[in-house]
Chain A
């Protein structure tokens, strides 16, 4: 990776050409929008609400299905490999076996890594989220590890009482990296309409408001596991990236920020350089907390 920024899943990742654009505009790696075995239309609008301090979304995991996704990933690969930007293909499924099946399908596009979006219901476990139970998460990771020969990352939700326990479970199952965190459950109501704004009523909070939650999760998780952590959540500028690296992240995910600036990825990348120069840092690896 040329720089520590990773385009987070679900932002722009709908098309190969957009992944390529993110790569060209400053991402060190890009993640595609999570795809499933079959196409999904997702929820009706409103699906995404933008506020200065946060984003709330319930897109509903809409995606064109794994087979169509292969074409988008191939397109992305064509452009990204030319500039040396790795592609992470995000997948989700209803069971551990289906996770392996979807991962195998997208492998046709030769992504550089597979990311498991574990914030989705496990049909075999009464629909509870994979990311909520260490065993369930580990089953999905184990199944995919057996099916593919590229690094496998597990993406965790902050909405659990013990994120460290889940992190250790996926590490034990062979995960090569952890992405922390996905969005935090939330809701908005319009008083005049007397209705929740999202058609799905509830959704996930991302953006600036998520930063303290993400920093804490990454700080805890990175101290408990050996595998690298992609710290994601609320990164809006270069200093946020520095803080996330100091919390223990090996790379840093950027999602919501993209809507606030014309060229968010490029700006954030440049701001990291400026911060390092102004504060006397020579290498990214020097960005650690004082003991």
Chain B
């Protein structure tokens, strides 16, 4: 589909580096899906849906595009193509949703949806330190974890997950964040026989299965994913490398 113009209706500061941008767009994409966001004259990159009505994205300013996107204000215009990709599938009675970095955005959306469907969610939000944490969700059990212990438990999201698992049975674990973190979550879940779904990230040119840039093994993150079962952590390429804009293999 061709890019379509939309207007930013509000912006919420999650932390100094991360903003949640609300866009006046009626689409109702599912958690896990993403849009290609075009800022004319800048670039176009993929962003995960962090909620709907209004549609929103949690943007972490790490480079030229994300810094520009995160600095946009109410009334600003963005051009969207999407939604693309598959989505998380909700099942079970109790789930854990783990978000590292901007990944807390899509995970909050998933948890809210779970609650609506009568599934009990526990939200884990992890970051290096307090000033990088994203906000929790009102009325939702949220466990914060920081590497330096400046807020919540001292440790990473995997430590927090281990804690929650000790409390009782969990049916499905969902995660979105740095690949290293998801690798650890995936391995732990395989070990413990818990179902697990991970949201992967790869450099994308098209977003709809044509260019082949977002490959991981035989799979395309945009076309077959971005949500994969925990088995993906056993793929030879997972956690090892991705392809850059020239298609060169780059170590992760």
Residues of A near any B CB (own CB < 8 A): 10-15, 17-18, 20-21, 33, 39-42, 44-51, 55, 57, 59, 62-65, 68, 188, 190, 192-193, 195, 197, 199, 256, 258-259
Contact = CB atoms under 8 A, between A and B. Distances in A.
Given A45-B45, A64-B246, A197 B212 contact: no
Given A45-B45, A193-B40, A256 B2 contact: no
Interface in B21-58: 36, 38, 40-41, 43-45
Name the 9 nearest CB pairs between A and B, nearest first: A14-B212, A45-B44, A193-B40, A48-B206, A12-B212, A64-B248, A192-B5, A46-B44, A21-B218
A258 B210 contact: yes
Interface residues of B, number: 34
A17 B211 contact: no
Contacts of B247: 14-15, 33, 62-64, 68
User: Which one of A42, A47, A63, A68 has the highest number of Cβ atoms from chain B below 10 Å of its Cβ?
Assistant: A47
Contacts of A49: 2-3
Contacts of A20: 218
B215 A15 contact: yes
A251 to B, nearest CB: 21
Contact of B206 (A68, A193, A199, A259): A259
10 contacts: A15-B247, A17-B215, A45-B38, A45-B45, A46-B38, A51-B1, A192-B79, A193-B77, A195-B40, A197-B38
A55 B2 CA distance: 10
A48 B212 contact: no
Contacts of B77: 192-193
Contacts of A64: 243, 246-249
Contact of B43 (A21, A40, A45, A57): A45
B218 A50 contact: no
A17 B206 contact: no
